[in-house]
Amino acid sequence: MQTLLSAQNPDGGWSYRRGGSSWVEPSVYAILALRDLPEAAEAVRRGRAWLRGLQRADGGWAPHAAVGESTWVTALVLLLEGVEGAGEKALRWILRQTGREATWLHKVRMKLLGVSSDYEAAPAAWPWYPGTAAWVIPTSITLLALRKVSRVRPEAEIRRRIREGRQFLLVRRCADGGWNHGSSRALGFQINSYPETTGLALLALAAEKAPGLERSLAAAERHLAQCRSAEGAAWLEMGLRAHGRAASAPSSVREDTLMDTALRLLARRAAQGRNPLLE
Amino acid sequence: MRGWSRREWLAGSGAALAGGACARRRAAERARVSVVRLRRYSQEVYEAVRRLLAEHRVEARGLRVVLKPNLVEYDPGTTINTHPLLVHAALEAFRALGAAQVRIAEGPGHRRNTLELAEAAGYFGLLPDFETRFTDLNLDEIAPVRLEGPRSKLRRLYLPRTALDCDLLVSLPKMKTHHWVGATLSMKNLFGLVPGAVYGWPKNLLHWSGISECIADLHRLLARRRRPRLFAIVDGIVGMEGNGPIQGTPKSAGVLVAGWNLPAVDAVCCRVMRIEPRKIPYLQMEDPGGLLAPDGIELIGERIETVQTPFELIPQFRHLRL
């Protein structure tokens, strides 16, 4: 906790690395990790104020103050603040986003070109950057955010997007049961899964009773046993615990970034029975 | 037959004059590219890199140098990434030349945890103090850069300060075939500069904006800047053929290829791989003066014929065969 508190920037945000400028992603994880700690109340207040000041006119957030485009990090802010804090425009911005491969224009184009694949047939999910394809991490984070919103706003459209997003994750699973960035095959060859994406996708699929999930949990356990990065280990621990599995990271994991530090704190919180990403 | 209009005559004579000027410029400015034969990753790599830098009169005294290897994924038994021995050889060579700072920097397109990938790829073992010398370009400080006359749909890019602010950026790619653009070499390696923290993992905006066009734009953007200067050393000792850049098969080409002109370096690599460089769209785009014709490049060291090793091409790229 002290690491995060001492690394907060004067503007209220956090960088990926100590001494750098503030980015939305590490800031959201830092605030989530600190927000229930009384001694961090002032840091959390300043962090939230910095985030609020960064909201763009379209309702979304850019990943950094220098970037002139709202992106997937909007879902992170929605996950942190809920629709009450992030605002209706943020929710609408997220619901407008979809992977470009799921747009009717792209589907018509592919049909005319005679292209047909699992990739093209995947349900609508969320891209990192507007106008591009959907991938595992932005989809998983958006699912966590919409799950939070749907508890207070049981709208049909939100429920539908959650359903489709979860289906997207299940379709994009790798042959080993885990997830990589979101492309499980290339020219017919199977691609292996990664630790961080496997853990995060499992967290986003919490409470899901999908077929074959047992294989995904086994893949996560295999990854966790060998994982060296704090980020990967934290997501794996949280993903496994969300499905009722005991999980603890090897002692040799390495924290490289402030985001790693925040995620480790969140994983520790999850081990104590409270995961702020699922509340 | 219809005669030429005045406008067509003017355009025709302008083109002829420009063609003559191009031919003269080509003769005067033939790009110099070195090809060194090296059959294995051994101590000889260190000597070869020092010789390459000397051949191209690379000066590094007091400069900030960034080495940009190609780190993509790790899969034991394959040759996806630039061999760490070449990176170490370059690091040592630039330090010996008196560089003020030599950093290793990369922003992989798939894996978020770059250090975990670098460790698996053997970088920690071969490069002393790797962690302190390494910058993850995916998470670096950024600056917006406008693209002048872009070929792609992009109008601006956010790029990492570590790459923009250095004096010399050395592209250290693996020699590989690529399932979308035919070959991935020193120019395509520049995709690793584009920060994941802005564009994601993968940097999918580059794919939807036209991959070949983005490769050309990124190269042109950097080549036109006063700083950093670009240099390339391609790891073709063991490359990858077939379904590259990740799922191909190791292929021993037994060469290092180096030079200041990245399109020319890549063209020579293509010829080593028995690929026609003038059929690679991004090389066409970056070759306005015909530098990539066989007589447009001054080869130093091995002749192409003595090192040429046909890299297997996936069916959709068989038309690239030289």
Report how far Cα A207 is from the mean position of its chain's Cα atoms.
17
Measured at the CA of A192, the angle between CA A187 and CA A194, to 5 degrees, comes to 135
For strands B168-172 and B64-69, give the pairing.
Answer: parallel
> CA quadruple A232, A234, A238, A241: dihedral positive or negative?
positive
In terms of Cα–Cα distance, which of A6, A17, A26 is closest to A263?
A: A26
Residues belonging to chain B with any Cβ–Cβ distance to chain A shorter than 8 Å: 75, 110-113, 115-116, 119, 136, 139, 141-144, 158, 179, 197-202, 204-205, 207-208, 243, 246-247, 314
Name which of A29, A132, A179 to mutate to probe chain B: the one with the most chain B Cβ atoms within 10 A of its Cβ. A132
Contacts of B205 in chain A (CB under 8 A): 129, 131-132
Q: For A175-214, how does the pLDDT look when each residue is reduced to its tens digit (9 = 90+)?
A: 999 999 988 766 566 788 999 999 999 999 998 888 889 9
Name which of A25, A187, A193 to mutate to probe chain B: the one with the most chain B Cβ atoms within 10 A of its Cβ. A187
Please, which residues bridge with residue B145 across strands?
A: B157
Q: Where do runs of H (alpha helix) occur along B171-210?
A: 196-199, 204-208
Q: For B222-276, how does the pLDDT look when each residue is reduced to its tens digit (9 = 90+)?
A: 999 999 999 999 999 999 999 999 999 999 999 999 999 999 999 999 999 999 9
CB-based contact (8 Å) between A68 and chain B? Answer: yes
CB-based contact (8 Å) between A127 and chain B? Answer: yes
Least confident of A111-115, A192-196, A253-257: A111-115
In terms of Cα–Cα distance, which of A184, A177, A201, A120 is closest to B247?
A: A184
In terms of Cα–Cα distance, which of A261, A221, A195 is closest to A3?
A: A261
Is the bond leading into B228 cis (omega within 30 degrees of zero)? yes
How many Å lie between the alpha carbon of A241 and the closest alpha carbon of chain B?
Answer: 22
Q: For A144-154, how does the pLDDT look when each residue is reduced to its tens digit (9 = 90+)?
A: 999 999 999 99
In terms of Cα–Cα distance, which of A188, A189, A168 is closest to A179?
A: A168
> CA quadruple B125, B127, B132, B138: dihedral positive or negative?
negative
State the Cα–Cα distance between residues A192 and A150, nearest whole angstrom: 33
How many Å lie between the alpha carbon of B211 and the closest alpha carbon of chain A?
Answer: 13
Q: For B175-204, how does the pLDDT look when each residue is reduced to its tens digit (9 = 90+)?
A: 999 999 999 999 999 999 999 999 999 999
CB-based contact (8 Å) between A109 and chain B? Answer: no
Contact A128 B201 (CB under 8 A): yes
Of A66, A128, A229, the CB nearest to B200: A128
Per the CB < 8 A criterion, the answer to whether B231 and B137 are in contact is no
Contacts of B119 in chain A (CB under 8 A): 228
CB-based contact (8 Å) between A97 and chain B? Answer: no
Longest dimension (CA), chain A: 60
Q: What is the pLDDT of residue A105?
A: 82
Q: Which chain B residue's Cα is nearest to A226?
A: B116
